Amino acid sequence: MLPVSNDLIERQVGARGKRDAVRVSWRNVMTVSAAAIGVLALNVSPASAAPNWQSWVQPSDYRCGTTTLHYHSVNIAHQTCIIRNPNNNTYQAVDIVANNYSAGVYLEARVQRPGRAGSDTCPMKLIPAHTRVACYGDSGAATESVISASSSTLMNDYIADGTTVATYP
């Protein structure tokens, strides 16, 4: 489509028609924008996409096991938490890892939830110094009255260390 100059629009529809055309264009833009924001708002949930390394954002309803220092380095602390999504009563296990070391380290995490086959793995990634991240496992419905989960963190591709078990409630 070829660009149309303002002079051409003014000659064809006059000054008033030009203002009305601009108003209609803004109205269309605002309508489409509002619809897009509404769709995004409907898809928001408290748990994060999994499995993936992400920043830890404290949810409203969760329980954690005790914090454990990594076997290979006292500068790596990690713990398993279980997040409850109140909207649909699903649960999500997460391994929270803090790199308190003065340099970045390569970490990989596995999150296990009993009653489910296998584990969710966040791939090896360089975690910058003085950073706290989380490996979110997949969400799932509760099949037991007490949900439990554990996780392990592999550091620099050769030493894994597990956390204490987290239970909910």
Per the model's pLDDT, the better-predicted residue between 16 and 35 turns out to be 16
Report the candidate in 92, 84, 72, 104 with the shortest Cα–Cα distance to residue 135. Answer: 92
CA dist 86 → 46, 54, 89, 125 (Å) = 9, 21, 5, 31
Give the pLDDT of residue 75.
Answer: 94
pTM for this one?
Answer: 0.67
Q: Domain residues of the chain, as ranges? A: 1-44, 52-168
Give the per-residue pLDDT at 50. 66
Are the CB atoms for 168 and 82 separated by under 8 Å?
yes
Number of C-beta neighbours around residue 14 at 10 A: 11
Top pLDDT among 11 and 123 is at 123
Predicted pLDDT of residue 153 = 92
Tens of pLDDT, residue by residue over 50-91, are 678 999 989 989 999 999 999 888 999 999 999 988 777 788
Q: What is the pLDDT of residue 86?
A: 79
CATH fold of 52-168: Immunoglobulin-like (2.60.40)
Asked which of 29-33, 103-107, 151-155 is least confident by mean pLDDT, the reply is 29-33
**Residue type for position 163:** T
Instruction: Give the per-residue pLDDT at 115.
Output: 63
Q: Between residues 116 and 17, which one has the greater pLDDT?
A: 116
> Tens digit of pLDDT for each residue in 94-149?
999 999 999 999 999 999 876 676 789 999 999 999 999 999 988 888 777 788 89
The predicted pLDDT at position 4 comes to 43
**Burial class of 149 by CB neighbour count within 10 A (0 to 12, 13 to 18, 19+):** buried
